[in-house]
Structure 1
Amino acid sequence: MVRRDRLRRMREWWVQVGLLAVPLLAAYLHIPPPQLSPALHSWKSSGKFFTYKGLRIFYQDSVGVVGSPEIVVLLHGFPTSSYDWYKIWEGLTLRFHRVIALDFLGFGFSDKPRPHHYSIFEQASIVEALLRHLGLQNRRINLLSHDYGDIVAQELLYRFKQNRSGRLTIKSLCLSNGGIFPETHRPLLLQKLLKDGGMLSPILTRLMNFFVFSRGLTPVFGPYTRPSESELWDMWAGIRNNDGNLVIDSLLQYINQRKKFRRRWVGALASVTIPIHFIYGPLDPVNPYPEFLELYSELLSGPLV
């Protein structure tokens, strides 16, 4: 009798918990994205959109040094946006005639279709389409990339080396802290869960919040260069724009693509004939020292700082 009463009370308790949890979960899942800060709103307002196969792609295009022929295209990292470059934007306009950056498909203010098969190949084609849109398809381009953008740059380099018509003509390439070698890349735990979580991934993307995001991203920065909380909120606002948190698991498939096409993309770097530079922070936990540096020195000949 006592045991029966205890089981009944437990059932009643779980029912009460469920009745409370359901509306709380519903409210949590419908939390609106954060408002854009004045700086991020200004970045969006000063940018433009072009259409690629029916999808809107956000980009920035600034005219800098008059009379200079130099053009630089900036390729951002995961999971953020072109806004990553805002601190050095003015400095770049003092060096280059045109400074161009875009939000890759699925990132920032660009469209974030779902379901969609996001691929490095498509992102590279979007970069090429942007330069055609700007009338720069026949100009020699300097590429500056970071993280995810490094892989896109590798695909663009491969196409350039194949001398395919209509492809980007690359003058120089500068990569920075990206997993250009899949064998030395150490993705974060959350990235592993999202890219290989199967049915769990859509649940995780919906449960992700600013706290999880900021705690996961902050450790990849150096101890003296970590973003402020306001900067993290700007990054999170870019991700939440157009429900971008719901496509993160699809975007992360680039890690699997990088393994599959390792020969293509590492090979493009290994036989490069244009000036190439790599900026490497050795405290990077995703591309750890000394494994990354040793492999870079073994396979590539470009300078590294």
Structure 2
Amino acid sequence: MFDPLFGAPEIPIDKLWTVEQGAPNLILWAVPIMILLTAIEMVVTYIQEKPYYDKWETLGSVLVGLGSLVVGAGVKLGLLYGVVWLYNLLPWRMALQWWTLVPCYLIFDFFSYWAHRVSHEQRFWWATHIVHHSGEYYNLSVSFRLSWIQNLKIIFFVPVALMGFHPIVFFTVSQLAVLFQFWVHTEYIKKLPRWIEFIFATPSNHRVHHGSQEKYIDKNFGATFIFWDRIFDTYEPEDERPIYGITTNIEQKANPIHINFHELTDIIRDVRKAKGLREKWFYVFGSPIKVAEKKQQMARQFSVEPEQVV
């Protein structure tokens, strides 16, 4: 008997344009609205004399965001081809049914949690994410700070593609997941009703994630849903105002090249100086916290700055 959901026909590679046209370009449509809301927040901040924006850091965020849009457009065809290719391999291909957005979004968010968590726990992946955390002010423009090499993390979402969701559903969900994270980057929305804070990654929950205090580091990884953090014991409530930024803040706050690649430069330098394969591996895939602790320990031992040692 024919299953109306599974066993959908293959998508011919020469018909990729049908997928591209069928998946609404939500991010491109949303950019003007995001810019407008950010501008409104900046004006309100200025009028109220709130310390929520820094002009050079905001410029850096905007330049990083523009570069991210360009890179995203450049790799779009390759990602589209890869997802369609996987889809065609699967005998359990799902037909295009819009209600499948719901299970796809939930599953996608589960893998987002783990992709995000690994991006904090392994230095190589941290280099694809540190861009987002390098801002010392928390505002809507921080949502623009997306690494130019973040598309490497598509590998974490291959299991979602292998479940057979239609490519249009997959790409629509991926865009919705990105757009959800825009509104949480603000100081103006305080804690929401308890049931919302329990389920969703709200501004309060996400402010904790951007905090550099010890108790806030590596907490609240959830992109849309915060209950993943509650399940996997990485949840921390906002009970004191976060201090934003990374443990060693960058100096070139408006330079998008430096913002994007300073961590990769440090990794390359550390690997060159490291002795032995094990130590080189540690400086690439070790915990960023443990790498920093080792550098600080050696700096105290040799009475030099941490960046001067490995």
> How would you bin the TM-score normalised by the shorter chain?
under 0.3
Greater strand fraction, Structure 1 or Structure 2: 1
Give the TM-score taking structure 2 as reference length. Answer: 0.24
Structure with the bigger RCO (C-alpha within 8 Å, sep 6+) is: 2
Using the size of structure 1 for normalisation, the TM-score is 0.25
